[in-house]
Amino acid sequence: MDKSLSKLRDAMAAAAAEQQQFYLLLGNLLSPDNVVRKQAEMRFETCQGKGRNFPVSMKCVIRSYPQT
């Protein structure tokens, strides 16, 4: 039982970290700062070409951001 609980906690922590990175990306895509927005757009476009599956592409973009 402890192993499954530990795996669940790990999965929840990973999901929370990905969600945080997604919101960082979203904020950067909406940024009024042209440099910040352009960098976010470039990351998104680069990853979007790697696959048509949106969640997979979004994971690529999220992973390209530095951890905060």
Evaluate whether 43 touches 24 at the Cβ level (below 8 Å). no
Dihedral sign for Cα 30, 33, 37, 40, please.
negative
Residue 42 confidence (pLDDT) above 80: yes
27 CA to centre of own chain: 12
Q: What is the pTM of this model?
A: 0.60
Alpha helices (H) in the chain, listed in sequence order: 2-29, 34-48, 54-64
Evaluate whether 21 touches 36 at the Cβ level (below 8 Å). no
* Residue 37 pLDDT level (bands cut at 50, 70, 90): very high
Domain count of the fold of the chain: 1
Q: In which domain, by residue range, is 59 found?
A: 2-64
What is the 8-class DSSP label of residue 50? Answer: T
